[in-house]
Structure 1
């Protein structure tokens, strides 16, 4: 079993579909690239974990109450994972209600139960959910890799600033091809 997991963060309808409540076109652009990374990670026996932003319908949620445009509310379809991702039965789907994929979820437990040491993080938004997830993964002693072409936010400059910080302080920002070479190299060892 691979000691690497791919975390696909918040590629849900409200963020990644043109009719979604808080859609950014950049999310549509990264969707097929994320699918390529998922397919490559499957070839190398990586654990695949989909993080699903989902807020409880009709119940108080401080995070949701502070957002100008409600989004990802269960039962509306807005929190559904994009079908293009090709979720499979043995993949994990973990709901989250905060920026970090680790906060208030059992993600760390799932990763440790599978002997994961390295996490590949892709999805949306680089300045919120990606950065918070990477930060917590770093502090939990995971080796963190972010494929540059597989994260986005609503502003390209903002995206680059956060990728620069991630690369400098918390992990490695690689191109998809560099990631694929790394995965192939790990397999041959």
Structure 2
């Protein structure tokens, strides 16, 4: 089965910048880089789904909810650490996709791109587990994709929210949970 890895919002601003998840996000850097490298090596689709905002956008709901982050043209939108290095190494094989909402599918061409390639299984990694990863998983489920979440490659600000989101994806969406490349029961 054709599959895709969607790396969600693993940027400087979300890891240790303007809206940081901090240590939990720093701790998954090498795992995300390893997943990207493995998916590229096996010729699977890799998508960098990257949050983008305009400074002081009065029409975006997040403007009132969160500090400015992932502002277009700033270094905060760069992929974090070695994930940026892997992206640069494999750039022609990786699809960079700007997104403006929590879900990587909302307002983007992601669904069309995946369907055109015959992809039915999406693997999720990145931040924030309980926000953008969860919303991407929900929309993928609603669109009929098989969802796989790499537990060792997702992180968020709050441990309880992280645990809730993982449980929700597993028990409500039927997501397959993986840890260190193995299916977690």
What is the TM-score with the length of structure 1 in the denominator? Answer: 0.87
Structure 1 residue runs of 5 or longer lacking an equivalent are 180-189
In structure 2, do the counterparts of structure 1 residues 61 and 14 end up closer, same or farther at CA, with 3 Å as the change threshold?
farther
- Measured against aligned partners, the alpha-carbon deviations of 1:75-125 in whole angstroms (never above 9, x if no partner) come to 222122225211122210110111000001111111111111100001000
- Measured against aligned partners, the alpha-carbon deviations of 1:142-168 in whole angstroms (never above 9, x if no partner) come to 100001111111122221111011011
Counterpart for residue 143 of structure 2: 140
Matches within 5 A, 1:40-189: 40-57=38-55, 59-85=57-83, 86-87=86-87, 88-170=91-173, 171-178=175-182
Aligned counterparts of 2:35 and 2:138: Cα–Cα separation in 1:
21
Matched residue SS, 1:89: helix
Structure 2 residue runs of 5 or longer lacking an equivalent are none
Counterpart for residue 20 of structure 2: 23
- RMSD between aligned residues: 1.5
Matched residue SS, 1:148: strand
1:57 Cα deviation after fit: 3.6
